[in-house]
Structure 1
Amino acid sequence: MTKTVEENVELAGKITTPTYNSNLAKRNVADLQGVVQLLKEKKMLVRVKSPVDIKHEMAGIATRFDGGKAVLFEKLKNTDVSLLTGLYWNREVLAEIFNVKEKDLPFLTADSIEKWSKNPIEPIVVENGPANEVIIKNKENLLKDIPIPTHGLQDGGPYLDSCVLIAKDPETGVRNASIQRLMVTGPNRMTMLMDMGRHLRDYYERAEKMNKPLEITINNGVGLPVHFASTTPSSAAPIDADELGVASQLLGEPLRLLRSQTVNVEGVADAQYVIEAEILPHIRENEGPAAEVTGYYAAADDRWVVNVKAVTRRKQPIFHTIMPGKEVYNAVGLMAEASVYQKVSSMVPDVIDVYLSYGGCGFYHANVQIKKSSEGVQKNAIMATFAAFPPLRRVTIVDEDVNIYDPEDIEWALATRHDPERDMILIPDARGHELNPITNDGIGTKIGIDATAPYPRPWEFQRLDMKEVMLENYDIEE
């Protein structure tokens, strides 16, 4: 990742940053319909044509393709709506949609965050769009016709897990976008989790003190730009900024928002479904268990209650869900990597790249690549990385000749360049992420690992290298 994509800046003598023009709106991949069509054309889509139950069976099939092609279920039982999953679990698929090389995805997201922070493109509000072709109000069961699946065998109920939730600051009116898990508990009722330290929870707690519900829209099946914008870390998007502007940058034009029917919060005009709702004050009801980012079930507890007031949708929607696992790691990790890189490289220019690994749930472990200009910068990079993304539990720093995307290469660096006695930093009792069961409600020990060679690099740390050749230039029979 680099600071500015358009400037073609060479960083640390190693990388030259490309320039991007991935205008999704003009390429007709700004919504799920366009994405599905592109993936069909590129042979990057699995199509399940057999009737499938949304309770457990869909997830059981989808997990067999984890990390590969996206999966479209064309015949769900008891509904005419199709369902898409796996959109985020393969970076090759995401790169195809954005029309960039896979290795350049973080450059694209980093560039969008930087441009947005300097010159935001405000979303525009419209009265009509695809997401309100059908309007459903004053109905006893507003959620009945939405095919909301149950993934894990021990999940507490059907879950919305990929929706972008939009709320407004109860005092300033600034919009916030985030992804929350919501469990269906009744015809027009859900319970939800709100993580500590996030802007949505801050909004809610201030509204609750006023004895007011917090109005929201729950947007299912949004395009990739909106989804990525909603995962922008708070360190890159202050509470007084509308991070939906990041979606405008990725789109290449202002994001269109849709005026709601029953709440004073907009929905996403190109979404598949918009659920208009409110989070009720002073009421808590059971939520969970729930399959979570960690690969464990989050325990059930009394949590926040959502009252559904209306639903609008497309005439022929595609329901979108995210499977626990690699899909969550990429959905969160790409924007987090971009944000971490920007912040850390601004403090430690030696930093070349950042990767939040799958083994670390895309949330808890960061591999950081540097080109050392002096001894000690690796320790600065460790501390800066923890500061840039508080959920992290482990940061591993390696040299520029180590592939941070390859667990085997990271292990090689640990085996040959890391001395546990002097190359570890322990930070006890630090705030992390409360969904990680090894922490005590989010409090735990963080570890920084220096797996870099000494500077200047002695001969005994010179890595074996070979001549680069192009096999197609040779007559080879296999």
Structure 2
Amino acid sequence: MSTTKIKVTDLRSAVELLKTIPGQLIETNEQVNPHAELSGVYRHVGAGGTVKRPTQSGPAMMFNNVKGHEEARVIIGLLASRERVGLLLDTKPERLGFLLNDAANNPIAPVTISNDKARAQEVVHYADEPGFDIRKLIPAPTNTEEDAGPYITMGMCYASDSETGDSDVTIHRLCLQSKDEMSMYFVPGRHLEVFREKAEKHGKPLPISISIGVDPAIEIGACFEPPTTPLGFNELSIAGAIRKEAVELVSCLTIDEKAIANAEYVIEGELIPNVRVREDQNTNTGKAMPEFPGYTGPAVAELPLIKVKAVTHRKNPIMQTVIGPSEEHVNMAGIPTEASILQMVEKAMPGKLLNVYAHSSGGGKYMAVLQFKKSQPSDEGRQRQAALLAFSAFSELKHVIIVDEDVDPFDSNDVMWALNTRYQGDVDTVFIPGVRCHPLDPSQTPAYSPSIQEKGISCKVIFDCTVPFHLKGEFKRAEFKEVDPSRFAPELFNK
């Protein structure tokens, strides 16, 4: 089946590609309420990830009839399947980490085009116009009925360092708070937080654009983190490398910043210095929204505030959204994590790490499975060194499972087989207590264990499920005759 006819350059071409591949996209004209119902539907269709069961992996879904938004559609689950990400980035699913690693090593900087060529500015709404209300312009869903409000979950937030001029793109949770205000949640250490703090120190607002509905290569590339992409590295250049063509930006109309020129929506605004807002001020639920570990995050008492200056969009725009704990988050966060681990370990011990999978159960952040090859006696112990490097490559990683070259890291049953037949808990477990991880893990609090000093501190663990080198000959898997199964079951293998 050929999937090379349609070149993916934006969200619409990505959708057109998926339409040509059976089982990758479904549409509905049934009216859906963006408040909790839309995500409730997709939970059953294809959310997967750490979403509460019942859920499953399935197609992306386009809602063509969104209550209160006659001219807009909403797509969800575009990246909620590793196979689909491979189709959209034109590579095999098991090679995605390698593709991202190569792109990070060969970046192509974005370019700026003129405003008259920017499809993202086909329709313009200024915040000082009568009747302006971002909540009516953008069909941002709530994932659950407890959410603090409608959330933009797939917004490419773009801002620049006021001192150096360096720019960066990241994804943050953005809650619509009023007709022209949004709260913005920062996990400590994100680059845009550094930019915001610098501007606030001088009492100045930070111009910021939020581009929604873009090329999937941008969405995946935006999720890289240090040390692979240090402060000053513009992740849009990774998307450029994936496509072998620079990402096109356009100057915003009301702020001194750029936005993604072919986005479906662009929100232009400013992060206001020394102003904070309670995330759930409109609902008082104490909840924010479902996050990648599978739990609803608590509402934050004080968050920075974005004052919206304008909303621009394409004609008949498509809003893109994601369920926080879904497989979509696993892929967006996990594939760059895999690339970062591959890069760091390859530098230290070339050819030993065969592959990495940032496992779905960890939301793409907490767990990685490393496929490691021991070729000689001196390789014994290097597998654990690789695990330590993985923790250095991605600081939010909590658990690493190491398997041999004959175990498929992407097959959870195969990994569990290795855990059950090549692992002894008292000799193959390495504990690394008291290390900073990620604040959204509810087990990482002093209330959970007195050994935990403060929220976000964790005990990182290595599960070494590799056979000791001197015993490899005694752990050979049963060998089956090599045959061509398509002769006997062509309907399964001749696709």
Give me the TM-score of the superposition, normalised by structure 1: 0.91
Instruction: Write out aligned runs for 1:15-414 (5 A).
Output: 27-43=6-22, 44-66=24-46, 67-79=57-69, 80-116=71-107, 120-128=108-116, 129-137=118-126, 138-139=128-129, 140-143=131-134, 144-287=136-279, 288-301=287-300, 302-324=302-324, 325-349=326-350, 350-373=352-375, 374-414=379-419
Deviations 1:8-45 (A, max 9, x none): xxxxxxxxxxxxxx99xx94321111111221222321
Given candidates 428, 436, 443, the residue that maps to 1:423 is: 428
What residue number does 2:443 align with?
Answer: 438
- Supply the distance in 2 between the matched residues of 1:68 and 1:477 (Cα, whole angstroms): 21
Q: Distance in 1 between matches of 2:106 and 2:322?
A: 28
Distance 1:476 1:274 in 2: 48
> What is the CA-CA distance between 1:476 and the residue it aligns to?
9.8
Work out whether residues 365 and 394 of structure 1, in 8 Å CA contact, stay in contact via their aligned partners in 2. yes
Give distance in 2, aligned partners of 1:432 and 1:84.
32
Structure 1 range deviating more: 281-290 or 94-103? 94-103
Change over 3 Å in CA distance of 1:477–1:348 after alignment to 2: closer
**What amino acid sits opposite 1:62 in the alignment?**
Y
Give 1:122 shift.
3.8
Distance 1:176 1:475 in 2: 50
* One-letter code aligned to 2:67: K
Once residues 392 and 144 of structure 2 are traced to their aligned partners in structure 1, the CA distance between those partners, rounded to angstroms, is: 34
Q: Conserved in 2, the CA contact under 8 Å of 1:123 and 1:244? A: no
In structure 1, what is the Cα distance between the partners aligned to 2:349 and 2:464?
Answer: 15
Mapped partners of 2:202, 2:491: distance in 1 = 75
Could you tell me which amino acid in structure 2 is paired with residue 123 of structure 1? V
Distance 1:27 1:284, change over 3 A: same
Alignment partners' CA distance in 2, 1:404 and 1:186: 46
In the TM superposition, residue 415 of structure 1 has moved relative to its aligned partner by 1.3
8 A Cα contact 2:97 2:342, kept in partner? no
Change (3 A) 1:157 1:474: closer
Query: 1:391, 1:48 → 2: CA distance?
Result: 38
**Following the alignment from structure 1 to structure 2, what is the Cα–Cα distance between the partners of residues 88 and 307?**
30
Q: Shift in Å at residue 460 of structure 1? A: 2.3
The change in CA–CA distance for 1:476 and 1:294 in structure 2 (over 3 A counts) is closer
Counterpart of 1:422 in 2: which secondary structure?
Answer: helix
**Residue identity matched to 2:39:** A
Which residue identity is paired with 1:145? Answer: L
Gaps of 5+ in 1: 1-21
Match of residue 461, structure 1, among 462, 472, 475: 475
**Which residue type is aligned with residue 61 of structure 2?**
V
The 3 A distance-change label for structure 1 pair 284 and 253 is same
Does the 8 Å contact 1:357/1:367 carry over to 2?
yes
TM-score, normalised via structure 2 length = 0.88
Q: Please, what is the CA RMSD of the aligned residues?
A: 1.9
Report deviation, 1:475: 8.3
Q: Distance in 1 between matches of 2:30 and 2:331?
A: 28
**Residues 430 and 446, structure 1, Cα contact 8 Å, conserved in 2:** yes
Q: Show CA shifts across 1:307-352 (max 9, x none).
A: 1111111112111001221111111111111121111221133111
Once the 2 structures are TM-superposed, how far is the Cα of residue 124 of structure 1 from its aligned partner? Answer: 2.9
Amino acid aligned to 2:423 = H
Aligned AA (1:86)? G
Please state how far the C-alpha of 1:46 moved relative to its aligned partner.
1.0
How many matched pairs?
A: 452
Aligned to 2:470, what secondary structure does the other structure show? coil
The Cα offsets for residues 60-108 of structure 1, whole Å up to 9 and x where unpaired, read as: 1111112211000011112221110110111222222223222232222
- CA distance, structure 2, for counterparts of residue 476 and residue 230 of structure 1: 41
For 1:62 and 1:458, locate their aligned partners in 2 and report how far apart those are by CA, in whole Å.
45
